[in-house]
Amino acid sequence: MKDAVRAWEWALICAGFIVLVFTLHPTVDGDGAVRFQTIQAFLGDGGAFSKFSFVQPILSMPLAWLGRFAEADVVKFVAWFNFSAFSALTIFIYRELAARYKPAVGRAWWLLMLSASMFPHHLQYYYGEVLTSLLVFLAALLIDRRPVVSAVLFALGCVNTPALLPSLVGLAVVLFLFYRRMAPLAAVPIAVALVLLEMWFKHVGLGQGYFSADEHGNVTVLPYSGRPGFSYPLLFGLMAITLSFGKGLVFFMPALLLGFFGDIRRALGLDRKATFVAFIALALPVVTYAKWWAWYGGSFWGPRFFLFMSVPASLLLAVGLRSTRAEPIRIALTLLVLLLSAWVSLEGYLFGQRETDVCWADNYAQEHLCWYAPEFSALWRPFVTGSAWKIMSNVRWPYAAWQLVVIFYLAVRLAEPLVEMTRRRLNEVRASDPGSHPGQA
């Protein structure tokens, strides 16, 4: 039985990757197009280096050279970078999860990353969050076993997304004070040195790039719009990032709430001290971004800057699905989290923000509708327009069909303890009832 289950889960994982290969059609636009300028500069195709990090463009060069060798459009090859990085790095993460917990937990995590997370949407683009998210999580898994590799991965992830550097410093201090872990602490000077080296190479100063006065949003009806830098009120930023209908972590990553269950934390090896450290690791980036004028991640689907939380959220849900507790309320709550997470993945991959043009009209004058109004939130917009009822006419319907099989399978596995408990109780009732045994007087 276990061999059959294992084979079935591997088949689903492989099928998920095959479906993505044939339906993804990644593009390079928005911030991805800005990052691509650095690749053009490396290839000698003109243009200057972009304001973004060198890390992703350098790692993308094999794809760029392959496109150049094939005499094809280089951008079409580079567009597959995030899918390639996801495919490779999740293999290493699975191996660590399988060794640390159980292979079954690792397989469930992989299935959830493919079918019930924000990643399928992000894989469509050449943005930097996919690489950063996976590098940082893998670094966290390797802190004890491979501290040198962990330090390098932490540094590369944070250099790729420099806004995470303050969070890395805070986490490094906490880990050193609590556990005397040196890897994150060693990552800080490496990351700072790489950032400074890149700034020297580009001939830019602190007043340029992210800190330039030209980096600001459009002036709209919102009272704090149009301001540069870290000018957004902290409290409003925190509420918007966590609770808003169009950007809120509660809606886009509901599996994070499973961290409140003690048995799930224990299954992950999180005692009180480790739980505090994990909370710090997740909270520091939220606090950092909450004050930035672009906390919402631009005209991008969902809480873009917090994709890294999807990785531990999928792990929490994977452990929750494997729980042996047969409490109906607990199973119902976990099932609700699974279904909402699946809808996030499905909506992001099939629809995204294609039906929210009103938010971008007139220089983004109504963009706040996509942040705060449920009717214009990317998650719920397909129900307003009716697209949610026409999934099979979507060009990516094979993903929806595959996901349906996966979610049904995971839901059945979730309900197994309750079914077993019900069967046991029925057998006990029959055994205690003399009238239930034929032939007895």
At 201-237, the pLDDT tens digits run 887 766 555 556 667 888 989 999 989 889 999 999 9
The proportion of the chain whose per-residue pLDDT surpasses 70, expressed as a percent, equals: 96
Distance CA 8, CA 400 (A): 18
* Mean pLDDT value of segment 60-76: 95
The pLDDT of residue 203 is: 76
Other C-beta atoms closer than 10 Å to the C-beta of 46 total: 8
Distance CA 298, CA 306 (A): 13
- What would the pLDDT profile of 105-116 be if each residue is shown by its tens digit? 999 999 999 999
Cβ-proximal residues to 40 (8 Å cutoff; 6+ apart), any chain: 46, 47
pTM equals 0.93
Cβ-proximal residues to 87 (8 Å cutoff; 6+ apart), any chain: 17
Cα separation of the two ends of the chain: 40
> CB of 34 within 8 A of CB of 50?
yes
Cβ-proximal residues to 188 (8 Å cutoff; 6+ apart), any chain: 155, 165, 168, 169, 172
- What would the pLDDT profile of 146-162 be if each residue is shown by its tens digit? 999 999 999 999 999 99
Other C-beta atoms closer than 10 Å to the C-beta of 295 total: 22
- What would the pLDDT profile of 170-190 be if each residue is shown by its tens digit? 999 999 999 999 999 999 999
Spatial CA neighbour of 348 closest among 381, 375, 319, 317 = 381
Q: What is the domain partition of the chain in residue ranges?
A: 2-26+80-416, 28-79
Neighbouring C-alpha atoms within 13 Å toward the C-beta of 156: 21
Structure tokens at 351: 């629809």
Distance CA 123, CA 295 (A): 21
DSSP letter at 213 equals T
Spatial CA neighbour of 301 closest among 253, 370, 236 = 370
Structure tokens at 196: 């400074």
User: Is pLDDT above 60 for 142?
Assistant: yes
The pLDDT of residue 440 is: 46
The pLDDT of residue 441 is: 39
- What would the pLDDT profile of 296-335 be if each residue is shown by its tens digit? 999 999 999 999 999 999 999 999 998 877 788 999 999 9
Structure tokens at 189: 């000077």
The pLDDT of residue 432 is: 77
The pLDDT of residue 47 is: 74
User: Is pLDDT above 90 for 66?
Assistant: yes
Distance CA 63, CA 69 (A): 10
